[in-house]
Amino acid sequence: MTAEAPVADAQRQRVLDHAAGVWSASSRYAVVLLLLLGIFAYFSMTQPDFLSQANIENLLTSSSILFVVSIGMTFVVLTGGIDLSVGSLLALSGIVLSTLFNDWGLAAPLAVLLTCLIAALIGGAINGVLIGKVGLSFFVVTLGTLSLYRGIVNIWSDTETTYITSGFVDGIGFGKLAGVPYPVWIMVATYVVGLVVLRWTYFGRDVYAVGGNIAAARLSGINVARTLILVYAIAGLCAGIAGVIQAGRLGAASPLVGESTPLDAAAAVLLGGTSFLGGVGGVTGTAVGVLFIGTLQNGLSIAAVSSFWQQVVTGAILIVAISIDRIQQQGGLRRRRGTGL
Amino acid sequence: MSASASPSSPSAPLLVGEALHKRYGGVHALRGARLAVRAGEVHALVGENGSGKSTLLRILSGQIQADAGTITLDGRPAGFRTPTDALRAGIATVTQETTLAQDLSIAENVFLGHRMAKRGPVIDWRGTRSRALAALQRLGLDVDPSLPVRRLRPDQQQMVEIARALSIDARVLILDEPTSSLTDDEVAALFGLVRKLRREGVATIFVSHRLKEVFDLVDRVTVLRDGRTVAEASIEELDRPKLIHLMVGRALEEIEPPPAQEREGTAALRVRGLTLPRGFAEVDLEVAPGEIVGLAGLVGAGRSELLEALFGLHRPTAGVVEVNGAEVAFKHPRQSIRNGVAFVPADRKLHGLVLEMSVRENLVMASTSRLSRARRPAARRELPIVRSSFDGMHIRAHSSRVPVATLSGGNQQKVVLGKWLATEPRVLMLDEPTRGVDVGAKSEIYRLLFDVAQSGVGILVSSSENPELLTLCDRVIVMFRGRVAAELSRDEATEARIAHFAGGHR
Complex confidence, ipTM: 0.80
Closest C-alpha among A17, A310, A272 to residue B358: A17
Question: DSSP labels for A208-242?
Answer: HHHHH-HHHHHHTT--HHHHHHHHHHHHHHHHHHH
Determine, for residues B366 and A220 on separate chains, whether the beta-carbon distance falls below 8 Å: yes
CA distance B55 to A294: 44
Report whether pLDDT(A18) > 70.
Answer: no
Helices vs strands, H then E, count in chain A: 14, 4
Q: Higher-confidence residue: B381 or A153? A: A153
C-beta separation of A88 from A146 below 8 A:
yes
User: Which of A21, A331, A337 minimises the CB distance to B401?
Assistant: A21
Architecture of domain B269-502: 3-Layer(aba) Sandwich (3.40)
Report whether pLDDT(A45) > 70.
Answer: yes
CA distance B180 to A46: 65
How far is the alpha carbon of B73 from chain A, nearest alpha carbon, in Å?
23
User: Which of B361, B366, B401 minimises the CB distance to A221?
Assistant: B366
Q: Measured between alpha carbons, how far is residue B410 from residues A40, B22, B342 in Å? A: 49, 21, 19
C-beta separation of B24 from A330 below 8 A:
no
Residue A180 neighbours by CB under 8 Å, 6+ apart = none
Determine, for residues A341 and B333 on separate chains, whether the beta-carbon distance falls below 8 Å: no
Residues of B in contact with A4 (CB under 8 A): none
Q: What is the pLDDT of residues A181-237, one digit of tens each?
A: 999 999 999 999 999 999 999 999 999 999 999 999 999 999 999 999 999 999 999
For helices A261-271 and A283-302, give the axis angle rounded to 10 degrees: 110
Q: B75: which DSSP letter? A: T
Check residue B123 and give its pLDDT: 82
H helix runs in B150-239, sequence order: 154-166, 184-199, 211-217
CA distance A239 to A119: 7
Q: How far is CA B219 from the centre of its chain?
A: 23
Quickly state the pLDDT bin for A340 (edges 50, 70, 90).
very low
Strand partners for A189: none
Check residue B297 and give its pLDDT: 87
**B239 lies within 8 A of chain A by CB:** no
Q: What is the pLDDT of residues A114-150, one digit of tens each?
A: 999 999 999 999 999 999 999 999 999 999 999 999 9
User: Which of A3, A213, A223 minimises the CB distance to B334?
Assistant: A223
Quickly state the pLDDT bin for A341 (edges 50, 70, 90).
very low
Using CB atoms and an 8 Å cut-off, which of residues 362-401 of chain B contact chain A? Answer: 365-366, 368-377, 386-387, 390-391, 399-401
C-beta separation of B343 from B307 below 8 A:
yes
Determine, for residues B365 and A218 on separate chains, whether the beta-carbon distance falls below 8 Å: no
Closest chain B CA to residue A341: B55
Q: Choose from A62-71, A166-175, B485-494 the range with maximum mean pLDDT.
A: A62-71
H helix runs in B23-118, sequence order: 53-60, 83-88, 106-110
Check residue B1 and give its pLDDT: 38
CA distance B214 to B24: 29
Confirm whether B1-90+173-179+203-249 and B269-502 share one CATH topology: yes
pTM of the model: 0.80
Residue B505 neighbours by CB under 8 Å, 6+ apart = none
CA distance A231 to A73: 9
Q: What residues in chain B have per-residue pLDDT under 70?
A: 1-11, 25-27, 49-50, 96-98, 114, 154, 180-181, 250-254, 260-264
Closest chain B CA to residue A218: B333
Closest chain A CA to residue B226: A341
CA distance A288 to A273: 10
Determine, for residues B365 and A220 on separate chains, whether the beta-carbon distance falls below 8 Å: yes
Q: How far is CA A260 from the centre of its chain?
A: 14
**B25 lies within 8 A of chain A by CB:** yes
> CA-based angle A152:A236:A284, to the nearest 5?
140
Across the A:B interface, residue pairs with CB atoms under 8 Å apart total 125
C-beta separation of A90 from A258 below 8 A:
yes
Residue B343 neighbours by CB under 8 Å, 6+ apart = A219, B307, B308, B310, B311, B333, B336, B420, B429, B430, B431
C-beta separation of B43 from B221 below 8 A:
yes
Residue A307 half-sphere exposure toward CB, CA atoms < 13 A: 0
The H or E element spanning position B91 is strand B91-94
How far is the alpha carbon of B373 from chain A, nearest alpha carbon, in Å?
5
Q: B316: which DSSP letter? A: -
Residues of A in contact with B404 (CB under 8 A): none
Quickly state the pLDDT bin for A336 (edges 50, 70, 90).
very low
Three-state DSSP state, B409: helix
In CATH terms, the fold of domain B1-90+173-179+203-249 is Rossmann fold (3.40.50)
Closest chain B CA to residue A211: B354
Check residue B34 and give its pLDDT: 93
Q: Where in chain B are the domains?
A: 1-90+173-179+203-249, 269-502
CA dihedral sign, ordered B456, B462, B468, B469: positive
